[in-house]
Structures are given as structure tokens and as C-alpha cells.
């Protein structure tokens, strides 16, 4: 495979759209992963850490929602 950046010829999806899709998936994946970190902190009795992970999870969810909204607005223009 060449070292040049893929610009949609291979995937059929332009980089900028693919990047938004990747970002949304990463945010959602992070939100899921943080659920187990919250449970681990709660089992250890560390409410400060559990609250920290809950805030981080909320930010991941927010990022995913913003990314989905941006992608939807761009796809309806296409």
C-alpha cells in the first residue's frame, strides 16, 4: 500500500467525513469503556474516581452527539 493519504478513492468516503465517523465511534467506545472503569472504582470504594470517570463519560457522550449532529448536517447537504 502506498504511503500517501487515502482521500476516498479506496473507501468511497472522503477523509473529512470518515474522520467525523471515526471520532463518533471513538467517543462511543470510550463511553462504554468508562462504564467498566466506573464500576471498578465503585467496587474499590473510590467515589472520587468514579465521579471523575462519570464526568469523562458525559463528555464522551457529548462529543459523540455533537459529531453525529455535524455528520448528519453534512450528509444532508451532499
In which band, very low, low, confident or very high, does the pLDDT at 68 lie, cut at 50, 70 and 90?
Answer: very high
**pLDDT for position 2:** 47
Cβ-count burial 28-42 (b if 16+ within 10 Å, e if not): bebbeebeebbeebe
**pLDDT for position 8:** 66
**pLDDT for position 1:** 41
Mean pLDDT computed over every residue of the chain: 89
Plot region of 45 (φ>0 → left; ψ -120 to 50 → alpha; else → beta): left
Amino acid at each position: 500500500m502506498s504511503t500517501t493519504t487515502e482521500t476516498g478513492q479506496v473507501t468511497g468516503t472522503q477523509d473529512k467525513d470518515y474522520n467525523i465517523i471515526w471520532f463518533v465511534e471513538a467517543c462511543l467506545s470510550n463511553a462504554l469503556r468508562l462504564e467498566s472503569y466506573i464500576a471498578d472504582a465503585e467496587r474499590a470504594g473510590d467515589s472520587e474516581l468514579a465521579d471523575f470517570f462519570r464526568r469523562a463519560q458525559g463528555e464522551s457522550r457529548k462529543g459523540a452527539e455533537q459529531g453525529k449532529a455535524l455528520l448528519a448536517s453534512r450528509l444532508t447537504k451532499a
